[in-house]
Amino acid sequence: MHDLDLGLLILRLATGGMIFMHGYNHFFGGGRLPGAGRWFDSLGIKPGLFHAWVTATVEVGAGSLLVLGFLTPLAAAGVIGILSVALIVVHRKNGFFIIKEGWEYAAFIIAVSSVIGILGPGRWSVDHAVGWRDVHGGPGLAWSLGLGVVSALGLLAVFWRPPKPQATP
């Protein structure tokens, strides 16, 4: 049992830490939130600055929760939702390989987050410490994958209007 707990801890730390850093970078690196907002606007996700705030907040929040193993299905849903939007809006049209901005990375993180939803956070987690030991298996997958994908599709249905391709002369 300790091997599984160690494996889940490593998955949570790696995935949660990476997603947290994505959000941190949106807040404090590069073009910061205004730059991310302009990028969202260019993708047709408007208002861009609002979505930059939401994305950065979800990334920091979900990443932190995954690291802690707290509210794990909800944290996994946040990651799945963010990466589902990225897969559909940015990466889908570029093929599989990430080297060409393809969808392999986003799909992999969605898969890892789904596995965390199925297996739960393990014994080395806040969820376990407070007695939330039974939110895994089918219900964990339903919460994480279901809520993540439904949230992503809802956001896209309401806010995404893909820009029309520019005509080349």
**Mean pLDDT, residues 135-155 taken together:** 92
pLDDT digits 0-9 by tens, 63-73: 999 999 999 99
Position 1 scores a pLDDT of 59
Provide, for the chain, the percentages of residues in helix, strand and coil under a 3-state DSSP scheme, each rounded to the nearest 5. 75, 0, 20
pTM of the model: 0.93
Res. 114 pLDDT band, cuts 50 70 90: very high
Position 26 scores a pLDDT of 94
Comparing 77 with 29, the larger pLDDT belongs to 77
φ, ψ of residue 2 in degrees (nearest 5): -70, -30
pLDDT digits 0-9 by tens, 35-61: 999 999 999 999 999 999 999 999 999
Position 2 scores a pLDDT of 86
Would you say residue 167 has pLDDT above 80? no
Q: Read off the tokens for 13.
A: 């730390």
Average pLDDT of the chain, as a whole number: 94
3 state SS of 45: strand
Is the previous residue joined to 34 through a cis bond, with omega within 30 degrees of 0?
no
Q: Read off the tokens for 30.
A: 């590069």
Angle at CA of residue 124, ends 123 and 128, nearest 5°: 50
Distance between CA atoms of residues 146 and 128, nearest Å? 22
